[in-house]
Structure formats: structure tokens, C-alpha cells
Amino acid sequence: MAMNTVKGTQAFQDTIAQYLMARAENDPLVAVRLANPSKTMEQCCAYYE
């Protein structure tokens, strides 16, 4: 399976990061996943594109 090499724009990544931070305030499962140091916002955005 090929790795997705498409990257979101910085504005897109910032928007997703803000959304996830807001979700993490109210959802402990999201907070745990968001705190994972081996993951990056760039990887997250590339996964969904």
C-alpha cells in the first residue's frame, strides 16, 4: 500500500489542530491520542486527505 504524500496547507492543518484541541478539552480519549508524541498534525492531515 502506497503512503499518501499529499500535504494539507498550513491553514488546513491549523484548522484541524484547533478543532482537535477543542475536542480534547471535553473528550479524554481524544486528549490521549492528541498527546501522542510519535504523531504529527501533518501526518493526521495527510491521513484524511
Per residue in 11-23, pLDDT (tens digit) is 888 998 999 999 9
Please, which pLDDT band fits residue 8 given cuts at 50, 70 and 90? Answer: low
DSSP string, 3-35: PP-----HHHHHHHHHHHHHHHHH-HHHHHHHT
Report the pLDDT value the prediction gives residue 5, as an integer from 0 to 100. Answer: 53
**Predicted structure pTM score:** 0.70
Please, which pLDDT band fits residue 32 given cuts at 50, 70 and 90? Answer: very high
Q: Where are the domains of the chain?
A: 10-48
Report the pLDDT value the prediction gives residue 6, as an integer from 0 to 100. Answer: 54
